């Protein structure tokens, strides 16, 4: 009943009911409670039925497992990751790794390292040792430090950038932009007026490995001020590209001007840029993403593909790969990638002109048919 639902964490929600000649606002519950022995897990509200299989699988594994799995988080910087913690808590216990504390493979199923370059961090040495022991990790770091208040940027001097060179991965001290697959943001103009403009440094990265289960349902990943990655082949190490830019992208390596006005001078290099990679060597398995903002609350809120990608990657790293074969099916935003500006103009004007043209053609054919009928001679 309603009392049992509230005890299990399922709250009443309001919804609209449309009937014959009436419109009502009603309240009810739409959630799931899973019990196993004395353990209980719940889905407070089923907002997306297509993702239900994945959410149920996560919670069933959590309450039926003999030992609760622990995800460690190392963070330097000031961004907020409340939604990330909520995602992890559906299946894992979350442990914050303090500055100077060395993560242990025995204690952690996987590790998440977040470094936006805006504060000093000594985590790189402990992370390198953790990976050498066969650890699993998701590393999110920027090659350029960003001050969001003043919209200024400078190269990141963190030791994290060179931590993975033994695995053939280098995080470059540059900024990647995309002139087509980018977000439209609101900025303050003169006189306190706000205006909308496309901002190439907030881009949408595309999946590079479509046969990789965690990317199976992902259309695009939102990243803010990302840095590129460089790969060098190493014997005995598997390297798989995960995220790349579109073809209208480029890189800035010096004299960073990330203001909205400064983006007008950017030009594409007609080549995609690598933004995320998977590395596997024996028991060691980790993913490097050139942007710490991917798991920020604002990016997880605005793009459901970010949520799906993070959830799938953590499952792929922390548990058996059978759960990763059931990827999160939350639907993100469709991406339209054009090879040239002329293609965009063609599609825009095509959408404007083709529908009325079809109507005109249909009307002409219909009128001609009617005229031909009036000219027919009827004989008794």
Digit-coded pLDDT (tens) for 318-369: 876 555 555 555 555 556 565 565 666 677 777 888 888 898 898 888 888 8
pLDDT of amino acid 135: 93
pTM of the predicted model, to two decimals?
0.76
For 116-140, b where at least 16 C-beta lie within 10 A, e where not — what string? bbbeebebbebbbebbeeebbbbbb
pLDDT of amino acid 192: 75
pLDDT of amino acid 200: 94
pLDDT of amino acid 35: 83
Would you say 74 and 141 are in contact if contact means Cβ atoms under 8 Å apart?
Answer: no
Q: Which residues of the chain have pLDDT under 70?
A: 1-2, 17-23, 51, 77-78, 118-122, 320-345, 378-380
User: Which residues, including other chains, have CB under 8 Å from residue 256's CB and lie 6 or more apart?
Assistant: 144, 152, 153, 154, 175
Nearest to 56 by CA among 29, 36, 79: 36
């Amino acid at each position: 009943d309603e009392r049992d639902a509230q005890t299990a964490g399922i709250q009443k929600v309001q919804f609209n009911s449309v009937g014959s000649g009436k419109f009502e606002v009603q309240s009810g519950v739409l959630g799931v409670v899973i019990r196993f022995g004395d353990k209980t897990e719940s889905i407070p509200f089923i907002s997306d039925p297509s993702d239900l299989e994945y959410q149920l699988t996560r919670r069933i594994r959590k309450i039926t497992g003999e030992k609760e799995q622990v995800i460690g988080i190392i963070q330097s910087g000031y961004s907020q990751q409340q939604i990330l913690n909520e995602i992890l808590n559906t299946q894992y216990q979350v442990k914050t790794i303090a500055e100077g504390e060395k993560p242990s493979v025995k204690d952690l199923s996987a590790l998440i390292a977040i470094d936006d370059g805006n504060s000093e961090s000594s985590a790189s040495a402990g992370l390198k040792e953790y990976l050498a022991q066969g650890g699993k990790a998701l590393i999110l770091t920027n090659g350029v430090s960003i001050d969001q208040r003043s919209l200024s940027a400078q190269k990141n001097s963190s030791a994290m950038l060179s931590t993975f060179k033994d695995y053939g991965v280098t995080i470059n001290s540059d900024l990647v932009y995309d002139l087509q697959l980018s977000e439209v943001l609101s900025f303050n103009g003169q006189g306190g007026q706000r205006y909308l403009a496309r901002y190439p440094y907030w881009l949408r990265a595309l999946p590079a490995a479509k046969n990789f289960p965690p990317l199976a349902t992902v259309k695009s990943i939102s990243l803010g001020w990302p840095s590129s990655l460089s790969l060098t082949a190493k014997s005995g190490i598997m390297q798989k590209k995960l995220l790349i830019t579109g073809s209208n992208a480029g890189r800035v390596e010096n004299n960073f001007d990330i203001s909205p006005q400064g983006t007008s001078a950017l030009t594409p290099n007609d080549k995609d840029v690598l933004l995320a990679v998977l590395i596997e060597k024996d028991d060691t398995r980790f993913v490097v993403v050139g942007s710490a903002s991917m798991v920020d609350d604002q990016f997880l809120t605005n793009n459901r593909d970010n949520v799906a990608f993070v959830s799938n990657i953590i499952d792929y790293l922390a548990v058996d790969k059978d759960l990763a074969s059931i990827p999160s099916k939350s639907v993100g935003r469709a991406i339209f990638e054009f090879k040239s500006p002329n293609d965009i103009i063609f599609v825009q004007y095509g959408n404007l002109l083709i529908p009325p043209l079809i109507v005109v053609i249909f009307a002409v054919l219909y009128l001609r048919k009617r005229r031909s009928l009036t000219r027919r001679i009827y004989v008794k």
